[in-house]
Amino acid sequence: MEILYSPFHFFIFITLLSTAAELSRSADMITLFQPVRDNETLVSAGAKFELGFFSAGNSSNRYVGIWFYNIPVKTVVWVANRDDPINGSSGVLRIGRGGNLVIVDGTGRAVWSTDTANVTSGTVAAQLLDSGNLVLTDESNNGSRNILWQSFDHPFDTLLAGMKLGWDLRIGLNRYLTSWRDSDDPSTGDITYKVELQGLPQKFLRRNASVIERSGPWDGIQFSGLPLSPNAIINPEFVTIAQEVYYSYQVINDSTITRAVLNHSGTLQRWLWNNNTQWTVIHELPNDSCDEYAKCGPNAVCRIGDAPICSCLTGYTPKSPQEWAMFVWSSGCVKKKPLNCPKEEGFVKLKGVKVPDMLSYWVNTSMSLDECRTKCLKNCTCTAYTNADIVGKGSGCLLWYGDLLDIRKLIQSSRSQNVFIRVMASDLGKTSEVQAGSGDNFELPTLDLEDITRATNSFSSLNKIGEGGSGSVYKGLTSDGIQIAVKRLSQNSRQGFDEFKNEVLLITRLQHRNLVKLLGCCINGEEKVLVYEYMPNGSLNSLIFGNREGNSLVWRQRFNIIVGVARGLLYLHRNSRLSIIHRDLKASNVLLDGEMNPKISDFGMARACRGDQLLEKTERVVGTYGYMSPEYAIDGIFSIKSDVFSFGILVLEIISGRRNREFHQHDHNFNLLGHAWKLWLQGKATELIDKQMEDSFPMSEVTRCIQIGLLCVQQSPEQRPTISSVLLMLESESTTLPQPKQPGFYTERFND
């Protein structure tokens, strides 16, 4: 404590402070007999910090403060009597009654006191440490020291290395920063920076009560909104134990001089003393517009680099489209349609985001993510969930009720939280993972190859459920428990890639319960992958053909499949702006969901035409023999009527349980089509019916369907009904059906 009398320290003292008006005393301690007067200062033992009286601006007000000792720019880091200055130089800081530190003015009136100590015996002293902490201790007669009070427990506007921002829960102490009122006035300002404990701990930067910036909750590794970036200067830490919850940091190199300061303008700044010359700001919060609290309003995501930066969550739409168009986002987004709760819904994953604020939430730190999902699904007001803790495989459950506020896409997010947002089934598979510069043409979500690989066990052969010309199809299970079908296109297949693009562009715009839903796609180098909703009952192909003794579809199921496929086709042909011709309708492209509802799949060959252009000619005839209309197979002309032809074949196949192409009958050379036509002319159409079908069914309905099938496969496209008249015929028994004319392609056999 006598250290400043050494020649070395005296030298430092003289060279650094020779111009300063203050005269320093020679110790780092205040004792009962050694107060600090206005013309005196304390200097810490290692000459790092100094304590004394100072003025701010032009005012004659005097404050007791602590500042860096060894730098030429006076930088105050702590003030005792910020709201109770001394007028003039009469102030003294000393040990007062009961052992408290007090500041008294010329009249002996105490303007400020630590107000905590109550010591009746022993020796009380205050010491300024090299950390910048002023510590009041009570040394008892037996030599043990007891901390009565310390300045680090009562922060000002600056967080120094080793200080704690946050809670000592044992005594209910909350340490937080408060800004100066303005640059000349150290009195209590409007800006605060606090650790708050609602739900999971978060740091809040506020102006009075309103939030300027929010760190996001601690996820076990970092604050969700402030990913730890490799930092050459400080080591931050966050401690959450039963007794304490606090943020703190240490400098990596002891010779680094740095401080985090709450600026009265409303920012938190990290300053670095640079190369012995000046302070520079190396980081600031808010750092960008997306850091501003609730920038995009409820139920929206903020993304730097997007134009505009705000976009609604999947399933939500701007509350005020007019404001939204004017870049006023504060009213945020609302649900497009109410959820069909508890049926028909699921979750989409939002990756690498600052998780929503905990306005209305529920948390359990031991639940698994699956339990969390189940818990959220059970309550219709639950809107999202996530892991509370991402350490290891993740644990805990944090879920939200109602609006989701203040979500931002992180810029750097190597390890970050995924939030699962509740959506309607029809929105499943859309994610909010939109790429920068996205517009309307990015409706289809791009998925991570890594996720898909994981979901399919690395495209394991055990997961393979189908194989086609353009690639293989695998069954997969996503991390959020959704079954998917993954079509992996053959590599290096030029035709495959065209079909891939085609399918993506077309089907993205299509949504109908009788069309298979494309959930997303992924292009990664040579790897091209399409992800569909999974159809547990596989393709119609495997259900109607072959010997399925005791396992055959009943008539009601067959009829529903016929009607469903017709509805799907109608949607394609009568799509609002464009007519879409599938060009490859066949039994293997009709898939069945868990309730045997049919869904048309495989749009790789589909073509869109405007309504006035329903006939097209193509050089390259694609499709499947056996289902192709004559005008298409021979002349390359296709239209919606070529799909009707394929539909007719499909109807006859569904009724007979036999394939058109591989049809063999001992008494003739006809294909299934020719066979049906022959039986029809002989008035024996019912002989076509699948022998494996159960024995009771309405014969008139089946016969009607045979007649409809034959109408669809008539030779001339003009004679074939449109798919809307087909539906009418199927659904209304009272419609009289015309007599079918000769079908196309009833004798020919194709070899391909």
Exactly one of 15, 18, 19, 58 binds ligand NAG (CB under 6 A); that residue is 58
Question: Would you give the binding string for ligand NAG spanning residues 100-119, x where CB under 6 A is met?
Answer: ------------------x-
Which parts of 623-713 are beta strand (E)?
Answer: 637-639
Exactly one of 207, 351, 509, 512 binds ligand NAG (CB under 6 A); that residue is 207
Measured from the CB of residue 425, what is the shortest distance to ligand NAG in angstroms?
Answer: 21
Contact by Cβ (8 Å): 649, 539: no
Contact by Cβ (8 Å): 226, 216: yes
* Among the residue ranges 213-221, 243-251, 257-265, 594-602, the one whose residues contact ligand NAG (CB under 6 A): 257-265
Is residue 135 at the binding interface for ligand NAG, with CB under 6 A as the rule? no
Measured from the CB of residue 115, what is the shortest distance to ligand NAG in angstroms?
Answer: 7
Is residue 250 at the binding interface for ligand NAG, with CB under 6 A as the rule? no
* H or E stretch covering 349: strand 345-350
Exactly one of 9, 12, 22, 37 binds ligand NAG (CB under 6 A); that residue is 37
Is residue 289 at the binding interface for ligand NAG, with CB under 6 A as the rule? no
Phi/psi region, residue 69 (left: phi>0; alpha: psi -120 to 50; beta: rest), is alpha
Exactly one of 26, 123, 330, 364 binds ligand NAG (CB under 6 A); that residue is 364
Is residue 381 at the binding interface for ligand NAG, with CB under 6 A as the rule? yes
By beta-carbon proximity to ligand NAG, the closer residue of 253 and 414 is: 253
* Among the residue ranges 106-114, 136-144, 238-246, 497-505, the one whose residues contact ligand NAG (CB under 6 A): 136-144
Exactly one of 18, 255, 414, 551 binds ligand NAG (CB under 6 A); that residue is 255
Closest C-alpha among 61, 22, 17 to residue 39: 22
Is residue 23 at the binding interface for ligand NAG, with CB under 6 A as the rule? yes
Neighbours of 441 (CB within 10 A): 8
Closest C-alpha among 570, 373, 635 to residue 480: 373
By beta-carbon proximity to ligand NAG, the closer residue of 367 and 702 is: 367
* Among the residue ranges 281-289, 425-433, 589-597, 723-731, the one whose residues contact ligand NAG (CB under 6 A): 281-289
Is residue 736 at the binding interface for ligand NAG, with CB under 6 A as the rule? no
Is residue 57 at the binding interface for ligand NAG, with CB under 6 A as the rule? yes
CA–CA distance, 81 with 91 (Å, rounded to integer): 11
Measured from the CB of residue 53, what is the shortest distance to ligand NAG in angstroms?
Answer: 11
Is residue 183 at the binding interface for ligand NAG, with CB under 6 A as the rule? yes
CA–CA distance, 202 with 746 (Å, rounded to integer): 74
Measured from the CB of residue 535, what is the shortest distance to ligand NAG in angstroms?
Answer: 32
Is residue 367 at the binding interface for ligand NAG, with CB under 6 A as the rule? yes
Beta bridge partners of 337: none
Closest C-alpha among 555, 616, 627 to residue 585: 627
Is residue 371 at the binding interface for ligand NAG, with CB under 6 A as the rule? yes
Is residue 288 at the binding interface for ligand NAG, with CB under 6 A as the rule? yes
* Among the residue ranges 362-370, 433-441, 487-495, 559-567, the one whose residues contact ligand NAG (CB under 6 A): 362-370
Contact by Cβ (8 Å): 565, 705: no
Is residue 198 at the binding interface for ligand NAG, with CB under 6 A as the rule? no
Token pair in block for residue 671 = 């294909």
* Among the residue ranges 235-243, 279-287, 593-601, 719-727, the one whose residues contact ligand NAG (CB under 6 A): 279-287
DSSP-assigned letters across all residues of 572-635 = HHT-SSEEEE-S---GGGEEE-TT--EEE---TT-EEEETT--EEE-SS--S-TTT--HHHHHH
Is residue 370 at the binding interface for ligand NAG, with CB under 6 A as the rule? no
Is residue 339 at the binding interface for ligand NAG, with CB under 6 A as the rule? no
Q: Please, which of residues 163-182 interact with ligand NAG by CB under 6 A? A: none
263 CB contacts (<8 Å, ≥6 apart)?
179, 191, 269
* Among the residue ranges 363-371, 444-452, 488-496, 586-594, the one whose residues contact ligand NAG (CB under 6 A): 363-371
How many residues bind ligand NAG (CB under 6 A)? The answer is 37
Question: Greatest CA span in the chain, whole angstroms?
Answer: 127
CA–CA distance, 235 with 256 (Å, rounded to integer): 12
- Give CA angle at 393 (411, 426), nearest 5°: 70
* Among the residue ranges 364-372, 505-513, 620-628, 638-646, the one whose residues contact ligand NAG (CB under 6 A): 364-372
Question: Would you give the binding string for ligand NAG spanning residues 396-435, x where CB under 6 A is met?
Answer: -----x---------x------------------------
How far are the Cα atoms of 4, 93, 184, 292, 334 from residue 13, in angstroms, in the given order? Answer: 8, 22, 27, 45, 65
Is residue 75 at the binding interface for ligand NAG, with CB under 6 A as the rule? no
By beta-carbon proximity to ligand NAG, the closer residue of 37 and 607 is: 37
By beta-carbon proximity to ligand NAG, the closer residue of 140 and 243 is: 140
By beta-carbon proximity to ligand NAG, the closer residue of 227 and 744 is: 227
CA–CA distance, 9 with 16 (Å, rounded to integer): 10
Burial degree of 417 (CB within 10 A; 0-12, 13-18, 19+): buried
By beta-carbon proximity to ligand NAG, the closer residue of 411 and 679 is: 411
CA–CA distance, 4 with 245 (Å, rounded to integer): 38
Instruction: Report CA Rg, the chain.
Output: 38
By beta-carbon proximity to ligand NAG, the closer residue of 49 and 571 is: 49
Token pair in block for residue 340 = 């069909």
Closest C-alpha among 346, 354, 369, 363 to residue 417: 354
Catalytic residues: 584
By beta-carbon proximity to ligand NAG, the closer residue of 168 and 288 is: 288
Closest C-alpha among 734, 732, 739, 670 to residue 706: 739
Query: Which residue, chain included where needed, has tokens 């799949």?
Result: 601
* Among the residue ranges 212-220, 237-245, 259-267, 729-737, the one whose residues contact ligand NAG (CB under 6 A): 259-267
Token pair in block for residue 268 = 């938190």
Measured from the CB of residue 346, what is the shortest distance to ligand NAG in angstroms?
Answer: 18
Question: Would you give the binding string for ligand NAG spanning residues 576-615, x where CB under 6 A is met?
Answer: ----------------------------------------
622 CB contacts (<8 Å, ≥6 apart)?
583, 584, 605
DSSP-assigned letters across all residues of 68-137 = ESSSSS--EEEESSTTS-EESS--EEEE-GGG-EEEE-TTS-EEEE------SSSEEEEEE-TTS-EEEE
Exactly one of 35, 36, 40, 398 binds ligand NAG (CB under 6 A); that residue is 40
Token pair in block for residue 596 = 């045997």
The pair phi, psi for residue 739, each rounded to 5°, is -80, 130
- Contacting residues toward ligand NAG, per CB under 6 A: 23, 37, 39-40, 57-58, 87-88, 118, 140, 142, 144, 183-184, 190, 207-208, 229, 253, 255, 261, 263, 265, 275, 281, 283, 287-288, 304, 364, 366-367, 371, 379, 381, 401, 411
